[in-house]
Amino acid sequence: MAEVTGIKEYIKPENLVYTRTKLMTENVLHYCPGCGHSTAHRILAEVIDEEGLQSETIGVCPVGCSVFLYNYIDVDVQEAAHGRAPAVATAVKRLMPDKFVFTYQGDGDLAAIGTAETIHSCNRGENILIIFINNGIYGMTGGQMAPTTLEGMKTATCPYGRDVKLMGYPLKITEIVATLPGTYYVTRQSVHTPANVRKTKKAIKKAVQYQKLNKGTCFIEIVSNCPSGWKMTPVQANKWMEENMFAKYPLGDIKTPVE
């Protein structure tokens, strides 16, 4: 392992503040530089590690950029057909009620192909945690328009910008599932600054603890970037996300449990 270090005399095990969690494998992540998926993977792994749930966790991964999640997080993972992760997770949870079951899906997977599965599993109140990465684009297939693409945003399949008269309005699926009685905790976060990463980690931790109560579906949307799909550098993409995505998708808790 090649590495560069700062001042060597401070590097002692007792001074350690932060290192990558052991639950992340040694494989180099295949995501593009600056992609929010990588950060989301890492904080999810950190929470599972801190809660001591490594052997109790079963993940369900989607089709999309995050399809290789099982290469990076050292837990049991089941692959699902495109959009069907909540349906697979329902079966896993019902057969093994003691396990912690999560799905990890992108916007093309959860909000387009899997809309029915998402809405119905949330409506049934399945005890699963759904992590939804929203970057407003189909990243893996080359940057096509997704249901969550912003009005006027340019993608490969709407090169003149999304025209709402022709292509419809951006879908706010998180607000939709928050209206369903089956959901217990619904929140929207992001992972582009240290403060937001900390907040997202807290939200995931809360959701994992709520799962132990068996009260219903927990749904966490993470507004993320797609530097390659948006054709920007990672730093520009984060800035663009703050200016445009957060206006349409405001951060914060949407549904919190009533005491």
Partner 1 sequence: MAKIKGSIVINIDRCKGCEVCMVTCPTGTIAMAKEVNKQGYYYAFPAHPDLCIGCASCAIVCPDGVITVYKTKI
Residues that bind partner 1 (CB under 8 A): 1-8, 10-12, 15-21, 24, 28-29, 31-39, 42, 191-194, 197-198, 227, 233-235, 238
CB contact burial 190-207 (16+ within 10 A = b; e otherwise): bbbeeebbebbbebbbbb
Question: DSSP character for 58?
Answer: E
Of 20 and 212, which CB lies nearer to partner 1 in the complex structure?
20
Question: DSSP character for 2?
Answer: -
Question: DSSP character for 222?
Answer: E
Of 7 and 258, which CB lies nearer to partner 1 in the complex structure?
7
Backbone angles phi, psi at 87, to 5 degrees: -70, -40
* CA pair distance 81, 236, nearest whole angstrom: 33
Q: Least distance to partner 1 from the beta carbon of 42, Å?
A: 5
Q: Least distance to partner 1 from the beta carbon of 108, Å?
A: 20
Q: Strand pairing partners for 251?
A: none
Of 151 and 242, which CB lies nearer to partner 1 in the complex structure?
242
Question: DSSP character for 29?
Answer: P
Q: Least distance to partner 1 from the beta carbon of 140, Å?
A: 17
Q: Least distance to partner 1 from the beta carbon of 83, Å?
A: 25
Of 87 and 223, which CB lies nearer to partner 1 in the complex structure?
223
